[in-house]
Amino acid sequence: MADEPLELGEVSASDWHAHTDKMAEVGFLAIAKRLPSLVVQAMRMAWEASPRDTVATVALNLLGGVFTAFGLLATTGVLGALFQEGPTPDRVMAAVPSLIMVATAAGLRTAMQAGAGWAQARLDPQVTRQTEERLYDLTSRVALVAFDDPEFHDALQRARLRGVAMADSVVSSAINVVTAAVGIAAVAGVLSVLHPVLLPLLLLAVLPDAWAAVRSAKMRYTTLYSLIPAVRRKWIIAELLADREPAAEVRSFTMRGFLLRMYDAVARAEQQVMLSLAKRQMWARLVGEALGGLGSGLVYLALGILLAIAAIPLAVAGTAVLAIRTGQVSLSNLMFATNHLYEEGLYFTDFLEFCADAEHRLPGPRPAAAPSSFQRISVSDATFTYPGADEPALRGVSIEIKQGEVIAFVGENGSGKTTLAKILSGLYEPDSGAVLWDDLDLRDVDPEELRLRTAVIAQDHTRWPLTARYNITMGTDKGEPALHAAASVAGADEVIAELPHGYRTLLDRRFKDGHELSGGQWQRIAVARGFHRDAALLICDEPTAALDARAEHALFERIRGHSDGRTVLLITHRLASVRYADRIYVLDHGKVIEHGDHAALMSLNGLYADLYTLQASAYR
* Average pLDDT estimate for 512-535: 85
Q: Do the beta carbons of residue 527 and residue 555 sit within 8 Å? A: yes
pLDDT in tens, 288-322: 777 777 777 777 777 777 777 777 777 777 777 77
Note the Cα 139 to chain centre separation in Å. Answer: 10
At position 302, the amino acid (one-letter code) is A
Q: Give the helix ranges, DSSP H, for 441-578.
A: 447-451, 468-473, 480-490, 492-497, 519-533, 549-562
- The SS3 assignment for 524 reads helix
pLDDT beyond 70 at 86: no
- Residue 583: its pLDDT value, please? 92
What's the number of CA atoms in the CB half-sphere (13 Å) around residue 282?
A: 6
Cα separation, 206 vs 470, in Å, equals 62
- Quick count: other Cβ atoms within 10 Å of Cβ 228? 18
- Residue 383: its pLDDT value, please? 93
* Average pLDDT estimate for 209-221: 68
pLDDT winner (highest mean) among 209-213, 386-390, 431-435: 431-435
Q: Do the beta carbons of residue 472 and residue 529 sit within 8 Å? A: yes
pLDDT beyond 80 at 209: no
Q: Give the helix ranges, DSSP H, for 84-197.
A: 88-139, 150-158, 164-194
Compute the C-alpha angle 71/75/77, nearest 5°: 120
- Residue 603: its pLDDT value, please? 92
Cα separation, 205 vs 560, in Å, equals 86
- How would CATH label the architecture of 463-534? 3-Layer(aba) Sandwich (3.40)
Note the Cα 54 to chain centre separation in Å. Answer: 24
CATH classification of 22-361 is 3.40.190.10, yes or no?
no
- Residue 309: its pLDDT value, please? 79
Q: Do the beta carbons of residue 96 and residue 148 sit within 8 Å? A: no
pLDDT beyond 50 at 10: no
Instruction: DSSP for 314-358, please give it.
Output: HHHHHHHHHHHHHHHHHHHHHHHHHHHHHHHHHHHHHHHHHHHHH
Residues 6+ apart with CB under 8 A from 378: 398, 399, 400, 401, 435, 436
Q: How far is CA 612 from CA 417, 577, 609, 619, in A?
A: 17, 11, 5, 11
Query: CA torsion, points 364, 368, 370, 375, in degrees to nearest 10?
Result: -130
Residues 6+ apart with CB under 8 A from 304: none
Higher pLDDT, 572 or 10: 572
pLDDT in tens, 468-512: 999 998 888 788 888 998 898 888 898 999 998 899 998 888 787
Cα separation, 418 vs 454, in Å, equals 15
Cα separation, 471 vs 443, in Å, equals 30
Instruction: DSSP for 580-600, please give it.
Output: T-SEEEEEETTEEEEEE-HHH
Higher pLDDT, 208 or 487: 487
Instruction: DSSP for 567-583, please give it.
Output: EEEEE-S-GGGSTT-SE
pLDDT beyond 90 at 236: no
Cα separation, 130 vs 168, in Å, equals 10
- Residue 225: its pLDDT value, please? 64
Residues 6+ apart with CB under 8 A from 268: none
* Average pLDDT estimate for 65-88: 72
Q: Is the dihedral of CA 117, 121, 122, 126 positive or negative?
A: positive
Compute the C-alpha angle 326/41/163, nearest 5°: 100
At position 424, the amino acid (one-letter code) is L
Q: Do the beta carbons of residue 500 and residue 515 sit within 8 Å? A: yes
* Average pLDDT estimate for 535-554: 73
Res. 85 pLDDT band, cuts 50 70 90: low
Q: Do the beta carbons of residue 380 and residue 408 sit within 8 Å? A: no
- Residue 172: its pLDDT value, please? 83
Q: Do the beta carbons of residue 587 and residue 415 sit within 8 Å? A: yes
How large a percentage of the chain has pLDDT more than 90? 9
* Average pLDDT estimate for 231-253: 82
Cα separation, 137 vs 354, in Å, equals 13
Sheet holding 583-588, edge to edge: 454-457, 537-541, 567-571, 406-410, 583-588, 591-596
pLDDT beyond 60 at 20: no
- Residue 1: its pLDDT value, please? 44
- Residue 563: its pLDDT value, please? 62
Q: Do the beta carbons of residue 346 and residue 17 sit within 8 Å? A: no
* Average pLDDT estimate for 180-191: 80
pLDDT beyond 50 at 139: yes
pLDDT in tens, 313-335: 777 777 777 777 777 777 777 77
- Residue 612: its pLDDT value, please? 86
Cα separation, 525 vs 55, in Å, equals 51
Crossing angle of helices 164-194 and 28-49, rounded to 10°: 110
How large a percentage of the chain has pLDDT more than 70? 84
- The SS3 assignment for 517 reads coil
For the chain, the structural domain boundaries read: 22-361, 463-534
Res. 6 pLDDT band, cuts 50 70 90: low
Q: How far is CA 427 from CA 146, 412, 450, 507, in A?
A: 11, 22, 9, 27
Q: How far is CA 572 from CA 408, 577, 585, 586, in A?
A: 8, 8, 11, 11
pLDDT beyond 50 at 587: yes
- Residue 181: its pLDDT value, please? 83
- Residue 591: its pLDDT value, please? 93
253 phi and psi angles, rounded to 5 deg: -100, 15
Instruction: DSSP for 436-466, please give it.
Output: EETTEEGGGB-HHHHHTTEEEE-TT----SS
pLDDT in tens, 386-407: 888 888 999 999 999 998 888 9
- Residue 350: its pLDDT value, please? 79
The mean of the pLDDT values for the chain is 80
- Residue 13: its pLDDT value, please? 44
* C-beta contacts of 286-295 below 8 A and 24+ residues apart: 287/212, 288/208, 288/209, 288/211, 288/212, 288/213, 288/215, 288/216, 289/208, 289/212, 291/208, 291/211, 291/212, 292/205, 292/208, 292/209, 292/212, 294/208, 295/204, 295/205, 295/206, 295/207, 295/208
* Average pLDDT estimate for 69-89: 70
Note the Cα 565 to chain centre separation in Å. Answer: 45
Query: What does DSSP say about strands 567-571 and 406-410: parallel, antiparallel, or unpaired?
Result: parallel
- Specify the pTM: 0.70
- Quick count: other Cβ atoms within 10 Å of Cβ 591? 15
Residues 6+ apart with CB under 8 A from 306: 195, 197, 312, 317
Q: Do the beta carbons of residue 376 and residue 212 sit within 8 Å? A: no
pLDDT beyond 50 at 12: no
Cα separation, 310 vs 361, in Å, equals 72
pLDDT beyond 60 at 4: no
